[in-house]
Every structure is written in structure tokens, then in C-alpha cells.
Amino acid sequence: MEKRRRKRKLKIGRIVVAIIILIIILLGVIFIINKGKKIIISKNELYLAADNNIVKLYILDEEENMKEEKEVPRGTKVTSYNDKIDKDNTNYTKIEYEKNNYYVISSSLVKNIKDVVLEKEKYVRTSVTVYENETDSKILSFIKKGNKLDITGYDNLLDDGNVNMYKIKANDIEGWVYSKYLVNDEQSAKEVYNENGVYDIHKDRKFKGRELYGGKPSTLDYYPYEKPEFADNKLLKNAKSMYLNAGVIGSIDSYLKIAKENGVNAIVVDIKDGALAYSSNVAKEISPTAYATAINSNESYKSAIDKIKEAGIYVVGRIVVFNDTHYGKDHPEDCITSTASSRLWPSAYSRGAWYYNVELAKEAVKEMGFNEIQFDYVRFPEDAYNMSIKGNSDFKNKYDEEKAETVQNFLFYASDQIHKTGAYLSVDVFGECSGEYVTAYGQYWPAISNVVDVISSMPYTDHFGRRVDTWTNAYQTVNNWAKGAATRQTEIPTPAIARTWITAYDTPYWNPTVVYGASKIEDQVKALYDAGLDGGFITWNSASSLAKYEQIKSAFAKDYQ
């Protein structure tokens, strides 16, 4: 009996101990869970905010003072702890970044990525196009250098924490501008770029003898322009190029045979030169008159471009910009009017003409696969001087720009938009641009070369006047010209590749008596390289004569470097 009682007590004791152990375990689990909850609650995923592109991270040094440790781009996501400290009247919050602990100024932490941009105003350093929205090329307005902008939003941050585009308000204008053209204060906005005396080189230049009315170099922008390098589309820096007009593209196989056998590494193909090369939907919407002129079907044109690319040849799409009577017929409101000229010429001031040509370019890159877009006739007409001295000319100058200003402003706009497609921009200029003045039609070499990826001048040997024979000695004519052009390239911080058009037709054009065979091509190219223009060449033959290319093909095979 006594044994049974002892056994029962022992069993009860064991049960009690077991219950106590279970209670302890349960309490421990509850404690761990609650503790875990506290840890989760005390941690927050936040973003670093600032009124510039970087945020400073700090650590406490041995004297318990805040020491700047590193800088990171704003918009960076960090883990924030509810651990704050005051130092020198500034409140800091402890954060974790890349598995290390730091402190940041508490006001630099926000919950929403859209709140990381704290600046409220900016100033225009380089005159800016204002876009209707942040996604396409539609132009709302234009704001000149020195003006203040209120910041009301942004589209996205770049890797370095800078904003890509700001949403802005200025008086009654509300739209979007690229941040790279803006600075933080009015004084900086009004300054000119004079590193190494760049601005001083240009500011007082003018044509000797008379006013040309093309504009003053002092009004142009010389700040460095960042030129892209696309990983899947390398810019061709030493070109041996053929030119093909839209009418011969159907015979692409014959031209490719010459190209592949003789070292041609680039072909320039027309997209628009008067007539359209193919039925562009952009033209259908904006310039129906141009749309009706299409020479090739979209399929045959695309097939030709594909064949060029399959041959490993860099392909450039050429667009004649402002010399466009078809667009002029559809949009007379955008054209220059003057009793000094009967030309139907869309003004380079016209934002409608800007938009049309850039949209054509973007469409061509996306649908046809061009590596590069080449803009020709980026200027006012040759008789712009006569138009300017007549008081009854209307250039449609809405934003009070000089001619050279609007040419450069157009190229800022075009470069920004075409680069978004992953393609490069080249621009053709007259040979006269190698001089130290702004031309009457608004071209100034340094202001153009500083912005675009490639500059292609046209020093055709029979285009230097008729009184003196400049075409027989092709080397001397081109070399004399190229020395001036090479000097212009040294006068700016971000010069383009100089890829030059050369004469590939018999000269002079009004009485062709000097045959331009392979040796004349070689002479011109050698003249370019000897003067320091080493970006290569493009052969100009307006007819794209297959017979002429057969005649000069050996010149492509030669090594000029």
C-alpha cells in the first residue's frame, strides 16, 4: 500500500515537473516570438533622399564625433533602425547599407522612392527644349539660358543619383526638361564654359568685311556634351563609306559585292532627300505629300538594309532636314517667307519641322535597324543673307534665337532623342564651316561638332568657286581645307568624329573634264589624314553610279592610317 502511494506521488511529481518544463518551453517560445516581432518592427526599408545626387554616410569616430565615411547615390535603399542620435544640433539615424552600419542625417530618409528628390528649383545653364511629357519627342516650349524653373516632379534617377528629366513650371509653362542642362543657382546658370579659355577662343569671332546675320559665336554653348557608346552598337570611328541614294537600293547586291571585296565598312543610304525612300508612317501622319513620294516598298527597303548589316557593314540613314518642299506644302506655317527668295523652305526655327525629322529618324532606327542617323541641310537656305537684309522676311523666329543658336538647339534636341533609340547622330556641314566665323545660314563648326557624334563636311574640290581650278590637284585643295577643320576640332571639349565627304564624280560638275578615278579618291583621303582628320570618308556621287564605284573601288581597299 505504502509502495503504491510512493509510486503515485512519484508519478504526480514527474507530471508536475513535465508541466513546469512545458510551461518554461512555452514561455521561451513566446518570448522569442515576441522578441522577433520587436526586431521586425524596429527595422524599416527606406530610401536616401537629397537635394543633389549624393547622400553622405557617417560613422562615429573614437571621440564619438560624426565622421564622413562615404557617399552613395540618392535613391539607394537602406535598412533603418529606430536608433537616433543628436550631434552638433543635427539628428542622425542609424542605418545598414551593404551589411555595414552607418549614420545618415535623419531628414535624408523617406519611405517612397518618388520622394527622394528634394530640390525645389533649378536654373537653365544651357537653353532647353520643354517637352509635353517624359516619354516622347513632342515639344511644348523652349526656355533660354539663365531662367529659373520650379521643380514639381521627376521621371527616374540615373545610376549616379542624378535625375534624368524634371517636371517643371516656369510662368505659364508646365512640362519636362532634361536635368543635364540645369544647375542649382542663377550665377552658375549665367556663366559660360571657359575651361582652358574655350569661350575666349570663340566669343569675338566674326566674318571679315560684313555682317552675315548668321549669329554670334558668343551666344553659343560650349559646355562638354556627354557622347554615348552603345555596347551593342559601336560607333564607327574610321569609316570607308559608300553613298547609295534611294533609287538604287533595289540593286544592293551589286554594290555589296564591291563593298565586301574592297574593304568598305560603312554605307550611307537615303531615308529622305526630297522623296521618301519608303512609306513612313510618320510621314503619313505629318506630311502626306511626302508619304506619296515613297520610292521603295517597306519590305524591299528593309531587305536591303538587312543585307548590308548581315555583311557586317555599318549602315547610316541620311535625312535631308530643312530643305523639304513636301513638308513645306503640308505646313506652310513653318516655312520662311521672303520676297528675296521663292524657296519653300521650312525654317530651322520651326519646332514642327524639328519634331517631324526626329520622328522620322527614330522610326527608321526602330524599324530598319540603322546604326546611325545622318542629318543633312541642318541650316537655313543659301540665300539666307539676302533674306536677312530684306525687311520683309519672316523666319518664324518664335523664341528669339539667332540662326546658329537654333541650329545648335535643334541638335541638342535631336541628339537626346536619337540616342534614346541606341543610335548615333551625324550632321553634314558645308566646307565653308572650317572658317573662323558663323556662316550666313547658321552653321558654326565648333558649336555643331561639340554636340553631335559625327560631323561630315563637304569640301568638294569644285565647290570653291569657278575662277580658280581647285579640282585638278585634289590633294592640295582638300589638305588646305582640312587644316582649318582640324583646328576647329581642337577648340571644343567634346569634338565629334570628323568623317568627311569627298568628291567621287568627274569635275568640275558644270564641265566634267577631270576624271576622278581611284587615284583622286586616294589623294583626297590622304589629304584628310595628313591634316589630322582621321575619322574616315564618305564618297559623294549623287547618282550612286555603279560604274563609278567599280572605277574607284581599289581606293577603299587602301590603308590610310
Q: Are residues 346 and 490 in the same domain?
A: yes
Specify the pLDDT at position 249: 96
pLDDT the model gives residue 22: 67
Note whether 252 and 273 are same-domain residues: yes
- Domain final position from 161, 191, 221: 191
CA distance 560 to 396: 46
Residue 128 located in a structural domain: yes
| Cis check: omega of the bond before 508, within 30 degrees of 0 | yes
CA distance 264 to 266: 6
User: Coil, helix or strand for 93?
Assistant: strand
Per-block mean pLDDT, blocks of 10 residues, the chain (561 long): 52 62 63 47 85 96 92 96 91 95 96 96 98 97 98 97 98 97 98 98 95 98 97 97 97 98 98 97 98 97 98 98 98 96 96 98 98 98 94 94 98 98 98 97 98 98 95 98 98 98 98 97 98 98 98 97 87
CA distances from 501 to 439, 455, 474, 525, 559 (A): 19, 10, 13, 10, 18
Asked, for residue 11, whether it belongs to a domain, the answer is no
- Is residue 241 domain-shared with residue 141, that is, in the same domain? no
Q: For residue range 125-159, what is the model confidence (pLDDT) as tens digits?
A: 999 999 999 999 999 999 999 999 999 999 999 99
Query: Residue 179 belongs to a domain with what CATH number?
Result: 2.30.30.40
Residue partners of 82: CB distance under 8 A and separation at least 6: 42
Cα–Cα distances (Å) from 123 to 73, 160, 560, in that order, read 22, 20, 47
- Please indicate, yes or no, whether residues 72 and 109 belong to a single structural domain of this protein: yes
Decide if 39 is inside a domain: no
Helix (H) or strand (E) holding 102: strand 100-105
Same domain, 181 and 276: no
- What pLDDT sits at residue 28? 60
Residues 170 and 299 in one domain: no
Write out pLDDT tens, residues 509-544: 999 999 999 999 999 999 999 999 999 999 999 999
**CATH number, domain with residue 346:** 3.20.20.80
Q: Work out how many domains the chain is built from and give that number.
A: 3
pLDDT for 33: 53
Domain's final residue, options 132, 156, 191: 191
What gap in Å lies between CA 355 and CA 452, rounded to an integer?
17
CB 503 within 8 A of CB 474: yes
Per DSSP, 146 falls in state T
Integer Cα distance of 123 and 165 in angstroms = 14
Q: Are residues 95 and 140 in the same domain?
A: no
In a domain, 153, yes or no: yes
Rounded Cα gap, residues 216 and 208, in angstroms: 13
- Where does a domain end: 53, 86, 115? 115
C-alpha cell at 442: 547658321
495 cis-preceded (ω within 30 degrees of 0): no
Q: Is residue 517 part of a domain?
A: yes
Domain for residue 504, yes or no? Answer: yes
Residues 465 and 479 placed together within one structural domain of the fold: yes
pLDDT at position 41:
41
Instruction: Mark whether 532 and 425 lie in a shared domain.
Output: yes
Domain co-membership, 185 together with 302: no
With respect to residue 292, please indicate whether it lies within any of the assigned structural domains: yes
| Full residue range of the structural domain in which residue 52 is found | 44-115
Co-location of 145 and 107 in the same domain: no
CATH number for position 52: 2.30.30
Residues 216 and 140 in one domain: no
